[in-house]
Amino acid sequence: MKIDAGNWRALVAHYQKADARRAVTQIFTTLVPLAAMMYLMYLSLSWSYWLTLALAFPTAGFLVRTFIIMHDCGHGSFLPSQRLNNIVGWLTGVLTATPYSEWRHEHAIHHATAGDLDRRGHGDIATLTVDEYLARGTWGRLRYRIYRNPVLILVVGPVYLMLGQRIPGRVKSSGSPKTSSVWSTNLGLAVAITALAMIIGLQSVLLVYLPVGYIAGAAGVYLFFVQHQFDDAYWEHHANWDYATAAVMGCSYLKLPRVLQWFSGNIGLHHVHHLAPRIPNYNLQRAHDENQLFHQAPTISLAQSVSMLRLALWDERQKRMIGFGDLRALQHA
């Protein structure tokens, strides 16, 4: 279906105003507990590393929330000042090991092309149509099946986020920021790690940060996957592609338990965010609740989201995502 939102820009304008007080409060309630939890993890090293790993899970929640702050800064929505957005964005980018300016550029393209079959490949998980998959040879199909394996996505994906983003020139799109974004983030990481290593030792730094970064990365990959890859997702060729429909119908409303919604910075309201990325995360829930337009979005629960991991192909005939098992059933029908 196509979204008939009328003047949706006027509808969302009311929610796009950044609130400095709420932003500063969110920084304080995110970064202070993050530092406290990491310090607690460091103290736990002298007791048991199993305890350290147990503490890594809630600590990773605060790191995910830190990434959301960076994410909003990248959209210019978190603070009223763009200069402050860029400063906070770079700092939180260092904390999450993400080159802020380069990520911001690629993510903006993702927003402008999500659901467009003719403009795939920017900041998303590569997705083939059924016909494209069948047109591949044996090796091509095997490579895609390996790539779309959910275990590989969730296990290797976080490693790529932590290490792959250290490499300059990773983003090839036209107009990409200079590699200085990557180098400045790498330098910030090197300075932070060196300073902490001089105080508590390099081994302690790595034993604390690496599991937190890995768990946060896995959570981020999972959230991104299930909010774009679900049964009734929206994909169209560019001639028929519609931005508003791609945003509201092509992004799921992932209804999370309240505590997980807090840690993930309301990113489960992805349909609202994709339609109006200038809405700060602290206004997303109100925008959804107060406007019938957003109630049309596909809604999935955390339990239902697990089944989305099997999806791998876009079936242009049925207009839905299917798994490799579904394809075999179609071929033998």
Q: In the prediction, which pLDDT does 125 show?
A: 85
Tokens 């001089």: give the residue: 198
Specify the DSSP element, H or E, that contains 314: strand 311-315
pLDDT band at residue 56 under the 50/70/90 scheme:
very high
What backbone phi and psi angles, to 5 degrees, belong to 269?
A: -85, 55
Tokens 């763009």: give the residue: 82
pTM check: above 0.95: no
pLDDT above 70 coverage of the chain, percent: 95
Q: In the prediction, which pLDDT does 333 show?
A: 61
- Rounded to whole angstroms, how far apart are CA atoms 333 and 330? 5
CA dihedral over 182, 227, 223, 253, signed as positive or negative? positive
Rounded to the nearest angstrom, the gap between the alpha carbon of residue 288 and the centroid of all alpha carbons in its chain is 19
Enter the DSSP assignment of 183.
Answer: H
Task: List pLDDT tens digits, range 202-224.
Answer: 999 999 999 999 999 999 999 99
Task: List pLDDT tens digits, range 289-300.
Answer: 999 999 989 999
Tokens of 157: 């994906």
The answer, yes or no, to whether residue 277 has pLDDT greater than 50, is: yes
Q: What does pLDDT average to over the chain?
A: 91
- Rounded to whole angstroms, how far apart are CA atoms 93 and 13? 27
The answer, yes or no, to whether residue 178 has pLDDT greater than 70, is: no
Q: In the prediction, which pLDDT does 174 show?
A: 46
Strand order from edge to edge, sheet including 320-323: 128-129, 311-315, 320-323
3-state SS, residue 19:
coil
Task: List pLDDT tens digits, range 61-104.
Answer: 999 999 999 999 999 999 999 999 999 999 999 999 999 998 99
Rounded to the nearest angstrom, the gap between the alpha carbon of residue 205 and the centroid of all alpha carbons in its chain is 25
The answer, yes or no, to whether residue 270 has pLDDT greater than 50, is: yes
Task: List pLDDT tens digits, range 134-170.
Answer: 999 999 999 999 999 999 999 998 888 888 777 776 5
Across 40-166, where does the E strand assignment appear? 128-129
- The average pLDDT across 271-300 equals 94
**Domain boundaries in the chain?**
8-331
